Amino acid sequence: MAAEVGAGPSPIGRMTTPEGIADPYPVFDELRAERPVCRDDAYGVWVCTSHAAVQQVLSDPTVSSRRSEAYWDADRLPAEVRATARAVYAALGQRMLMQDPPEHTATRKVMGAAFGKRAVALLRPRIEALVDELLAPYAAGGSIDVVADLAVPLSIRTIAEVLGVPPDDVGRIGAWAEDFATTKDVRPGEPDREAAAVRGVEALLAYLGELVGRRRAGPPRDDVLQLVVDAADATGPREDARLAANLAGLLVGGHDTTTGLVSAGLLSLMRFPGELAVLQDDPGLVVPAIEELLRFESPAQWILRTTTRAMDLEGSEIGPGQLVGLFLGAANRDPAVFAQPARLDVRRRPTQHFAFGRGRHLCVGAPLARLEAELVLSALVTRYRRLEPAGPAPVWRPNFAQRGLARLEIRLSGR
């Protein structure tokens, strides 16, 4: 028997209220305990909150990542933006995140070469220099908004430099990144919010298309953008819409993931000061502790898949052609896998977390996000004696899909 929600409250609707965005874990815990796989009719999605269900779907090669037609619906938007929305959504549907083999394999080969561990390791000196620059005004301590003054400029400048975005254009990327993230967080009954995001993504795709065109017309350069453009052109006919969409995904994903990991990770450490003290006493634990921070507050809260055959998930019979929502943040706090999951433990080795997905769609930017988080956290725990909340209460960004803070003010006290 399928676990139906019926006329009851929408599980996703409960998660996406301001209260749910700030703390979705009570809803996760309730669903996981009572109906770990259930149908949310308001969203047309099967909701999976247990580790076992998420792992089963991610491990099934018959499950498809093609879902754009089912997920986006331009007809629900104001008439004047529908044509634009159809074009934008068609382009976004060509990202490797929404592809299956063999298209996915070819695209990932192009994009993955630029973000492998070896390539990312070469970025360490530049990222260290950026961290030093951003923390220089606070050498003796003081109050800092970790989001606006550290995580956002670090992530956006790093990924922009990696992809060859000119310095004068970096300022525009942040707003476009928020619009892009909104298209992954569409909700019934919010057409104006979605329409505004569509216009922003249209501008981002046009900009990246122009950037690629300028790169092709100019002399070759020794950078990631050149590598990606050359590799894409070598694999077959030029498909600029697909290339721009994938570059947008890398640009925004690199920004969102690092910002969410750094901001939510620091908040978690301040809420568990004993764990912060462990890292200050032994900064060598920062690298493994990042995995626990990813588990505890996953930057990507949910991803979608589409069934191609009938499946049994935790006793729920799901037919072919159904959207299945994998709630990574819920699976990463499943007590069947993680002891005391609501407790942050920087000595834990949570190798089974899904913060970056799993399998063929493992986040291609994961090495970069881990490196940026490592360098920021290492700098903070070694340079400052105390890190504690300051000023107004933390504010979560109004986006459930991409978890992170919009504001986090902390007070730094020098060693």
Provide the residue ranges of all domains of the chain, joining segments of one domain with +.
11-414
For the chain, the average pLDDT equals 89
The average pLDDT across 112-123 equals 79
pLDDT at 113 over 80: no
pLDDT at 29 > cutoff 90: yes
Which of 151-155, 174-178, 222-226, 270-274 is least confident?
222-226
How much is the pTM? 0.92
pLDDT at 5: 44
**pLDDT confidence of 6, banded at 50, 70, 90?**
very low
Q: How confident is the model at residue 51 (pLDDT cuts 50, 70, 90)?
A: very high
pLDDT tens figures, 196-242: 999 999 999 999 999 888 888 888 887 778 878 887 777 666 778 88
For residue 45, pLDDT over 90 is answered with yes
Query: Tens of pLDDT along 317-360?
Result: 999 999 999 999 999 999 999 999 999 999 999 899 999 998 88
pLDDT given for residue 238 in this prediction: 73
Strands 405-407 and 311-313, bridge-based pairing: unpaired
The encoded tokens of residue 194 equal 């979605």
DSSP 137-173: GGTTEEEEEHIIIIIHHHHHHHHHHHTT--GGGHHHH
Local structure of residue 137 (DSSP, 8 states): G
Q: Could you read off the pLDDT of 120-160 as tens digits, one per residue? A: 888 999 999 999 999 999 999 999 999 999 999 999 999 88
Average pLDDT over residues 277-299: 97
* Share of the chain residues as helix, strand and coil, in percent rounded to the nearest 5: 55, 10, 30
Confidence band, pLDDT 50/70/90 cuts, at residue 69: low
For domain 11-414, the CATH superfamily is: Cytochrome P450 (1.10.630.10)
Full DSSP string of 291-331: HHHHHHS-SB-EEEEE-SS-EEETTEEE-TT-EEEEEHHHH
* Res. 267 pLDDT band, cuts 50 70 90: very high
> How high is the pLDDT of residue 2?
42
